[in-house]
């Protein structure tokens, strides 16, 4: 495999991991804009705009966009996160030109008023759906309390009020300032003809206005965390859903690899200490944890789902598991098993160009870094027990905020919880 790079005259970067032995290719426009970049009155605009990109352009209707994606047999979609919005398609190599032309056109959506109002109702229904099904917004509420007023704590979908109040004009302004070529990277992976890719991007993207982004996505400072415990009653819930949020390494912190390995040992959804103690024994339906990294900050989310009358017992069990790890550490055998598990996942997923697309794209947007599969595996192989001890010292699991949602509004929190 080879990494190829090119920058168009208007500032659009093109990054491709070329693997001529692959049977498919994947392409994506990675926009460095997400929910953390939104003003509070525009909360949800990044996700709303993601929807609007599929509603047509000056050259295509929404039906034409979707029909052409089907005609080339693509596996295509988009997603919005806190820090990026991504539009992607995986296709057979012979459809590269059509894919770049179509995605390039989609990246300049028409933002028609009638489509805007129709899609607004779709998003409001989406917000309502997540509020009315398990875990009833527990993750969003937990992050909201933990980040306390910072945009990282706001729902990616926005609120009912912010989405209802949003108009086409402010969305167009957000688009103009965030979807400029210097804030977008075209990523490709798999069986890619790079020279043709560059020519296609020149033909279909070079006319995009070369203007500097008016926003300044400075994300280097660590976001302050706020510790609290909150229990919310939900009349539709039959089980208790608890989310604990503790600090974790940021996206550019080299300790992030050790933190991932440690979370695999302590709370992976299978084969971890938490799994064997709580899930395998039937005490909880779900008990798992994992780190989430952002630029400048990070969190570790622990999720518990159990019967309402078992929540106190299970929270105490989680506390004991955390305390044992912080007091006694982990064993060399546990570390080896966790590293093997992670490395297997990396290698197996890397066999699909679409998986590599997301890995290459996210690494480039977050750190302007390209990492081969071999290099990624070696970073985990280099983890030591001392690294895990350092993670536990810097980011103690029991130092967390907590939110419970369910039938039990009077949760008995362990004594060490804030």
- Regarding whether 245 and 170 lie in a shared domain, the answer is no
Confidence at residue 226, expressed as pLDDT on a 0 to 100 scale: 80
> Quick check: 26 and 97 in contact, CB under 8 A?
no
Compute the distance between CA of residue 396 and CA of residue 326 in angstroms, rounded to an integer. 7
What pLDDT band is residue 218 in, cutting at 50, 70 and 90? low
334 catalytically annotated: no
d(CA 418, CA 415): 8
8 Å CB contact between 340 and 313: no
- CATH of residue 312's domain is 3.30.830.10
Asked if 306 and 359 sit in the same domain, the reply is yes
3-state SS assignment for residue 148? coil
233 with 381, same domain: the answer is yes
**Domain end (from 137, 172, 205):** 205
Q: Considering the entire predicted model, what is its pTM?
A: 0.94
Cβ contacts of 382 within 8 Å, gap of 6 or more: none
Q: In the chain, what's the furthest Cα-to-Cα distance?
A: 63
DSSP 223: P
| pLDDT tens digits along 27-71 | 999 999 999 999 999 999 999 999 999 999 999 999 999 999 999
> pLDDT tens digits for 129-164?
999 999 999 999 999 999 998 999 999 999 999 999
Q: What size, in residues, is the chain?
A: 418
E-state strands within 228-357: 229-233, 240-247, 286-294, 297-306
Within a domain: residue 218? no
pLDDT above 70: residue 219: no
- The three-state secondary structure class of 27 is strand
Does position 418 have pLDDT exceeding 50, yes or no? no
Phi, psi of 186 (to 5 degrees): -90, 115
The closest of 100, 106, 105, 72 to 195, measured between CA atoms, is 100
According to DSSP H, which parts of 216-310 are helical?
A: 256-267, 273-274
Distance, CA of 42 to CA of 158 (rounded, Å)? 8
Q: Give tens-digit pLDDT for 313-366.
A: 999 999 999 999 999 999 999 999 999 999 999 999 999 999 999 999 999 999
**Strand pairing class (297-306; 240-247):** antiparallel
Does a structural domain hold residue 412?
no
CA–CA distance, 74 with 87 (Å, rounded to integer): 12
Do 200 and 238 lie in one domain? The reply is: no
Catalytic residue among 50, 83, 119, 295: 50
Q: Is residue 112 part of a domain?
A: yes
Indicate if 318 and 252 belong to the same structural domain: yes
- Is 387 within a domain? yes
Domain count, the chain: 2
- Spatial separation of the C-alpha atoms in residues 187 and 18, rounded to whole Å: 11
244 contacts 305 by C-beta, under 8 angstroms: no
Handedness of CA 336, 338, 344, 350 (dihedral sign): negative
213 pLDDT higher than 80: no
Q: Residue 123's domain spans which residues?
A: 2-205
Q: Is 219 among the domain residues?
A: no
Q: How far apart are CA 378 and CA 27, in angstroms?
A: 27
């Amino acid at each position: 495999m080879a990494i190829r790079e090119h920058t168009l005259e208007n500032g659009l970067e093109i990054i491709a991991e070329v693997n001529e032995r692959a049977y498919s290719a994947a392409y994506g426009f990675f926009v460095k804009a997400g929910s953390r970049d939104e003003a509070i009155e525009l909360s949800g605009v990044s996700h709303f705009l993601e929807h609007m990109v599929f509603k047509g352009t000056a050259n295509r209707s929404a039906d034409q966009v979707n029909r052409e994606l089907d005609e080339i047999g693509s596996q295509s979609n988009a997603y919005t996160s806190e820090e990026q919005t991504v539009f992607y398609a995986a296709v057979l190599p012979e459809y590269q030109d059509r894919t770049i032309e179509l995605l390039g056109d989609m990246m300049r959506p028409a933002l028609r008023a009638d489509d805007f109002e129709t899609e607004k109702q779709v998003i409001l229904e989406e917000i309502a759906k997540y509020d009315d099904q398990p875990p009833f917004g527990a993750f969003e509420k937990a992050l909201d309390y933990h980040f306390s007023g910072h945009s990282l704590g706001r729902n990616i979908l926005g609120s009912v009020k912010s989405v209802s109040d949003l108009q086409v004009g402010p969305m167009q302004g957000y688009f103009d300032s965030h979807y400029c070529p210097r804030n977008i990277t075209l990523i490709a992976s798999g069986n890619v003809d790079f020279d043709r890719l560059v020519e296609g991007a020149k033909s279909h993207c070079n006319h995009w206005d070369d203007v500097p982004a008016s926003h300044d996505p400075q994300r280097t400072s660590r976001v302050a965390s706020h510790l609290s415990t909150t229990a919310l009653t939900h009349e539709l819930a039959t089980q208790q859903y608890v989310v604990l949020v503790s600090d974790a390494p940021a996206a550019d912190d080299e300790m992030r690899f050790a933190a991932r390995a440690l979370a695999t040992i302590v709370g992976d959804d299978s084969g971890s200490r938490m799994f064997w103690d709580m899930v395998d024994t039937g005490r909880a339906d779900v008990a798992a944890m994992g780190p989430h990294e952002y630029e400048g900050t990070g969190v570790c989310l622990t999720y518990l789902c159990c019967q309402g009358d078992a929540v106190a017992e299970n929270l105490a069990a989680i506390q004991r598991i955390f305390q044992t790890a912080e007091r006694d550490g982990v064993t060399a055998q546990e570390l080896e098993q966790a590293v093997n598990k992670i490395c297997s996942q990396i290698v197996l997923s890397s066999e699909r160009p679409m998986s590599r697309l997301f890995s290459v794209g996210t690494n480039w947007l977050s750190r302007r870094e390209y990492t081969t599969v071999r290099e990624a595996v070696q970073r985990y192989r280099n983890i030591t027990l001392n690294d895990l001890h350092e993670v536990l010292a810097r980011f103690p699991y029991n130092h967390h905020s907590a939110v419970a949602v369910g039938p039990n509004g009077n949760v008995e929190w362990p004594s060490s919880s804030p």
